[in-house]
Structure 1
Amino acid sequence: MEWVDPLVAVTGWSAEPVEFDWSGTERALGARLPADFKELRRRFAEWGAFSDHVLVLEAQGDTESVLANYESLRRSVRGNPDNGRIFEPFGILGANDESKGKGKGLVQWGYSFIEEEYYWLADTSQDPSTWPVVARVDPLEPFQRFGMTASEFVYRVLTEAEFSAFSVAATIETPYYRTF
């Protein structure tokens, strides 16, 4: 959670935090979500985008929430195993086994308006604060692994021009958060 305060500061965001009930999402995943992500959503509770680029999935909702996205991806892969190829080498958490609470795989937490995808490489046997971020700039490109939290990833995308292919810092000088 050490990156949420700097993200609030750099974007100038000042809305009141909102508490969410994550129990349904965590039950479906068979694991707790990272505390850093919960704090990020608590502080940036309204649906919006960072610098009109990065969108972080909502805590609750029918389409743009972590749970709705997870269930949709899992159904897609279970319904047609060939769909799982685009998530190789990791796969979607729980898509290939029925044992909730045991497994490894991707859980999406965000995306960009230009098709970048942001996931955790979840491992239900590990503390979720240790889950790395895996991301790709295009659904047909390989994943890149980052040993950091979601909020650090977003912060670096917004502020560090040299932060891999994901950065928007060279084109957007002052990061912001805009609600829809």
Structure 2
Amino acid sequence: MEWVDRLVAATCWSTEPGKLDWSSTERVLGTPLPADFKELRRRFPEWGAFSDHVLVLEAQGDTESVLANHESLLRSVRGNPDNRRMFEPFGILGASDESDGKGLVQWGYSLIEEEYYWLVDTSVDSSTWPVVARVDPLEPFQRLDMTASEFVYRVLTESEFSPFGVAATIETPYYRAF
């Protein structure tokens, strides 16, 4: 997990890796999550933020987990069909019978309303899912063909990683557990 190792080195993180159970999340979603992401959460097991900016959803929990977040998004788009427009052109995985195993699953966000998702296709290896992100819920998504940990690394270390990068204002990346 090259990008996870780079994040650990860049943030000087030294906490012992955790043991996380993704089985219920993967069962409900109907697909395994990317190994890179699971390793990222294993290596940074405590809830916290990268450079007080990027938050990565957890394996379990009532609010800040991948599954709880996904279920909340599903309730939102099912309860108010107008909310579906916010996720066009991709839609939320499982929001409709026509989704055919494709759609968005959120894996993280920033403290300034940026949103980070995978563009899931359950018929392909999850390691190939691209990241789609946007700087504001009203802005269009940008597709980035990279893993979640590469995305986080680039946000923290590349000042030219526009519009998501914070390296120009936060010179030394860190991880702060809450």
- When normalised by structure 1's length, the TM-score is 0.97
Sequence identity percentage? 84
How far apart, in 2, do the equivalents of 1:79 and 1:15 lie? Answer: 41
Counterpart Cα distance in 2 of 1:29 and 1:98: 15
Secondary structure, in 3 states, of the residue corresponding to 1:151?
helix
**What 5-or-longer segments of structure 1 have no aligned partner?**
none
- Cα distance in 1 for residues equivalent to 2:54 and 2:10: 15
Cα drift, residue 115 of structure 1: 0.1
Query: Within the alignment, does 1:58 sit opposite 2:55 as a pair?
Result: no
Name the counterpart of 1:126: 124
Q: Give the Å deviation of 1:164.
A: 1.4
Superposed displacement of residue 8, structure 1? 0.2
1:93 is aligned to 93
Letter matched to residue 171 of structure 2: E
Distance in 1, matches of 2:173 and 2:96, equals 39
Tell me the residue number matched to 1:144.
142
Name the structure 2 match of 1:77. Answer: 77
Amino acid at match of 1:88: E
Aligned residue type for 2:23: S
Counterpart check, 1:46 vs 2:46: yes
Which string of whole-angstrom CA distances, capped at 9 and with x for unpartnered residues, describes residues 60-115 of structure 1? 1000000000011011111221111100000000001288xx41000000000000
CA distance in structure 1 between the partners assigned to 2:128 and 2:101 by the alignment: 15
Q: Distance in 2 between matches of 1:98 and 1:25?
A: 21
Letter in 1 for 2:101: G
Unaligned runs of 5+ in 2: none
Distance 1:168 1:127 in 2: 30
* 1:170 match: 168
- How many residue pairs get aligned? The number is 178
Secondary structure of the residue aligned to 2:37 is: helix
The amino acid of 1:174's aligned partner reads T
- Structure 2 counterpart of 1:68, one-letter code: A
Q: Following the alignment from structure 1 to structure 2, what is the Cα–Cα distance between the partners of residues 97 and 112? A: 30
RMSD, aligned CA: 1.0
> How far apart, in 1, do the equivalents of 2:17 and 2:118 lie?
24
For 1:123 and 1:78, how far apart are their aligned partners in 2?
Answer: 20
Partner of 1:24 in structure 2? 24
Alpha-carbon distance in 2 for matches of 1:98, 1:156: 34
Instruction: List 4+ stretches of structure 1 deviating above 4 A.
Output: none
